[in-house]
Structure 1
């Protein structure tokens, strides 16, 4: 078993629940077939290339392809050659990954795929504790490829945790959502990201539910599936699965999202709109997070930045006593009263237009009576696009009856959010009603706040001057800060602005800021300088120009990467014991799971440098060791050095990160 993880390799856990993507044709129509999906992916070198010897791994350049194509390795090989067998074969050299589940893992593995008689053997599954099972699953690894916008190539190693039995998505229930959330929690520290293969019919419900169940999420979670199964020659399964894997393995987008038809959506913003189009999902009230075309364009300004200092956890309960009621002309008060009888605790009321309802007294009395009894009723619009409002009298009467406006939430999101909130016993009915209209995971649009006036050209140069002044202040050796003048201003003498003024456009000004701000925030992190740190954060946050593309720093300014080392400001702050800037970065949405070019997180550097206070802060924010940090011996070596030198403080710090003391060879986190 091989635990090593190269720094240019990311780990993704694929949770395969079922759905069309892995189905086969039968006399009864499409039906799920156990292990078919894994065996198919293993036989396709787009999804599995362990020897890096496929066309995809050798087509990065003309020279590389010509060498490979003339080497003889591109020719068909016999079963006795070095080609990795098809099917679920597990050669001795193939790495496996420990995967945990709340149910027994019952995957079978093909051991002799080249013979007519295929033998199968059950993978050993151990019970770790109550309702926790672990098995070492064989892994698949993608060919090395360069992602648009990134300079280095990367391979994605993934394991498939297949459910038994596989489910059609129409059979998905609350317990299944909790199972998915639990499996993500059990494997959270071992994997960089998660892809959930799911049927399309209820995928938007599952995406909404998981967005709430996965609390303080700091890693990428993507749901995907297919309209046409992988077993068919013409399908959308290949594009959807490859796209989801590529995004999950190369970007940290700490949300529960849904990938379909070259687009990554926020999961709680989508609805299925077509049963036959490949473009099956729409997000009518929120722009996509990622558009995949020739380039992969991440809309970083819209990606949620977690600002909580709490560790990730999965909430494992949802109330089943919620329902959706769609108003229609002629609906009676008796119908509504019957619908709102116990054990109902929450209702999503789909209203007309912008939140309107019939004004009959019997209907309003039924709604008011239910609200007075403590039932939470949330009003959303029946329209595909738009929001409820109090613009009409017929909408205001609902508010007077106690109905809570749900903004522009989709029906799927409103239902799952209500189920989630009502499952929390610590929340009162009034608190649930308040939280329904509060965006918790970006599921609804906040009410518009009047924007500050657009800065004119007279305000742009002072911004650049202030930015450069911060550089000079931090980098200069003298105590006095020299004045920087880029263009003449009123009151300056002719001598002071004899040089030609700085000619620029608004886009050029913004581009200059976008180029300089990342360097400044790294410098501020190294010096623990809060003045420059706050300057960077405010300069980025307050930019209200129409063309935000020039300010689209990947991950935002708090997660900007230094090109040479691949380090974020959080890495720099951890290395330099810059506690004030570290706290500021975390509160502003810095990602604790980012790895630099060597594969290390900020927590590793803080522990290696002996910065105990920084380690405590990062751990409280959800950081953990993983990958190369302990599996290839870096952390183990640090522990051994501490043992030889008798450095008790180092023992204490590494123990806080979850490392076992080096009494045995196994020093992996517990």
Structure 2
């Protein structure tokens, strides 16, 4: 091996490093005698030859088209647009190119040939075994022209290496062991800034769902993409899909497993393939896209998962393969159902009718877990949970209905405010909970008061669910839903500090004239907490919105106990006739 291959290219401040894991699929295929077929090294050689994907000297038209002056400068230098002039085929593996250190659980480089392929036509690369099932090689790197995105810190180049599988797979041949292999290679190369996985479209939704669970405590961007028309064709969707995935991976930190297709970045465990013929092949029916790429790149940060723990990233390396999916149909027989529940089957996902209906004749004893998971995600999640020996059957059932990676929608009673910061909302949420704790601890032996009891899952179950983190939207919804309860509790306890904390937030419903503070004022007035009522009045609450029946009872109670301050309070609110 050439000595230059032993030195990885130093990372520059204006570069992002992305590992492209090329598993196979239409994106890198060529037309063969029997239709589309994979060809070793074709994709990497094609990317190297196109200046939009590889511009090492920044002398392409793409690097000079940002202004008229830039174009004129490029044009005056003879308009050289290809950095590969005079470089022979197979030069991607040449020691002349800068390299990136890449590791894999398999030997790196092609050892197999396609039918009719000449051994001398395949670029060779030697990897070194450094441990059991760990190989490494210095792969030549490619680098894009400089680009900038909305919300970014300026121009940035994306340097990437392509780790190409041998043999390349048609996605219809992908198995669970391949999911584990992808997860392992991400773990072995976690020093990269982000990851793009090139994959066939037929099973991409299954793979993106599985990866979302296998990559535990993920803190970096992982994007699966592919194409309906290969890069080898003049008219294709491969160019936009790959460039879009590289751009998002290189410029944004979206620490989720995502799927990018046709200008949309989706949460990976929310998608299904909808068409084998349209370029808009995927959709996320129950969750909005995380990113929309149009004239501008619009990131929906409210829905992006942010980790709230400091646990180290790890790849789970097991899946339970004895699972199945049964799609119900009218007239399904008991024999058909029974065939799915043989002793070797560990779990079955039922695709039922409508909102979860099933024929009562055969399914009366089955526990139903309702949710908005896709069939692909449900199967991957069940396989993942069943692969963890620490979980009992009942715990697996429980976790199937718990959102672990954003695959299920948390129920929310309050719409979140817009433009949220997850850090701000989590901080506020912790503030709310600390006041709950303080108020709960004020109880005495004679007046225990209301207690807040949180029922926790056991330790093993918590560990599996812990890698799910709040999105900003969900943190905001939880915060908004807790404020009314906290305010009412603080008023009942006559706790001025907690009341002021709550009133520093907006507790008035914009669609109602009867706010949380108004209700709390009535509670305080009913219990004779005059100082609390005065504080609430200063913050905008009012007793004048209460109905006369409630006011009459409150006035009668004040008269009965002889509390003139309470009577004066109701009189000042306009209920004079009730007090006389």
TM-score tier after normalising by the smaller chain length: 0.5 to 0.7
1:138–1:60 Cα change, 3 Å: same
For 2:132, the equivalent position in structure 1 comes to 130
For 2:380, the equivalent position in structure 1 comes to 416
Contact 1:318–1:422 under 8 Å retained in 2: yes
| Residues 145-172 of structure 1 deviation map (CA, whole Å, 9 limit, x = unaligned) | 2223335100000000000000000000
> Does 1:10 pair with 2:12?
no
For 1:569, the equivalent position in structure 2 comes to none
| Residues 358-378 of structure 1 deviation map (CA, whole Å, 9 limit, x = unaligned) | 122xx135xx2xxxxxxxxxx
> Does 1:88 pair with 2:52?
no
Contact 2:17–2:160 under 8 Å retained in 1: yes
For 1:438, the equivalent position in structure 2 comes to 402
The unaligned stretches of length 5 or more in structure 2 are 1-6, 112-118, 419-427, 429-499, 512-580
For 1:429, the equivalent position in structure 2 comes to 393
1:333–1:305 Cα change, 3 Å: same
1:544–1:285 Cα change, 3 Å: farther
CA distance in 1, matches of 2:509, 2:223: 30
Contact 1:404–1:433 under 8 Å retained in 2: no
Give 3-state SS (helix, strand or coil) of 1:291's partner.
strand
> Which among 156, 162, 165 is matched to residue 164 of structure 2?
162
| Residues 158-194 of structure 1 deviation map (CA, whole Å, 9 limit, x = unaligned) | 00000000000000000000000000000002x0000
CA distance in 2, matches of 1:438, 1:542: 29
CA distance in 2, matches of 1:409, 1:541: 34
For 1:221, the equivalent position in structure 2 comes to 222
Q: How does 1:182-581 map to 2 (within 5 A)?
A: 182-189=184-191, 191-360=192-361, 363-364=362-363, 368=365, 401=366, 403-450=367-414
1:38–1:65 Cα change, 3 Å: same
Contact 2:183–2:317 under 8 Å retained in 1: yes
Give 3-state SS (helix, strand or coil) of 1:31's partner.
strand
1:288–1:435 Cα change, 3 Å: same
The unaligned stretches of length 5 or more in structure 1 are 109-116, 369-400, 456-466, 468-534, 547-670
1:86–1:73 Cα change, 3 Å: farther
Q: In terms of mean alpha carbon deviation, does 52-61 or 414-423 score higher?
A: 52-61
> Which among 57, 60, 81 is matched to residue 54 of structure 1?
60
CA distance in 2, matches of 1:40, 1:29: 20
CA distance in 2, matches of 1:429, 1:105: 40
Contact 2:103–2:185 under 8 Å retained in 1: yes
> Which among 28, 32, 35 is matched to residue 22 of structure 1?
28
For 1:103, the equivalent position in structure 2 comes to 106
Larger radius of gyration: 2
Contact 2:228–2:277 under 8 Å retained in 1: yes
Compute the displacement of 1:450 (Å).
4.7
Compute the displacement of 1:334 (Å).
2.2
| Residues 211-234 of structure 1 deviation map (CA, whole Å, 9 limit, x = unaligned) | 000000000000000000011111
> Which among 49, 71, 80 is matched to residue 43 of structure 1?
49
Compute the displacement of 1:90 (Å).
4.6
Q: In terms of mean alpha carbon deviation, does 351-360 or 278-287 score higher?
A: 351-360
Compute the displacement of 1:44 (Å).
0.2
Contact 2:325–2:348 under 8 Å retained in 1: yes
For 1:149, the equivalent position in structure 2 comes to 151
CA distance in 2, matches of 1:541, 1:118: 71
| Residues 604-625 of structure 1 deviation map (CA, whole Å, 9 limit, x = unaligned) | xxxxxxxxxxxxxxxxxxxxxx
1:434–1:540 Cα change, 3 Å: farther
CA distance in 1, matches of 2:219, 2:507: 25
For 1:33, the equivalent position in structure 2 comes to 39
1:76–1:321 Cα change, 3 Å: closer
Compute the displacement of 1:329 (Å).
0.8
CA distance in 2, matches of 1:77, 1:419: 47
1:76–1:7 Cα change, 3 Å: closer
Q: CA RMSD in A?
A: 2.8
Compute the displacement of 1:422 (Å).
0.2
Contact 1:271–1:281 under 8 Å retained in 2: yes
Contact 2:223–2:260 under 8 Å retained in 1: yes
- State the number of aligned residues: 417
CA distance in 1, matches of 2:505, 2:379: 35
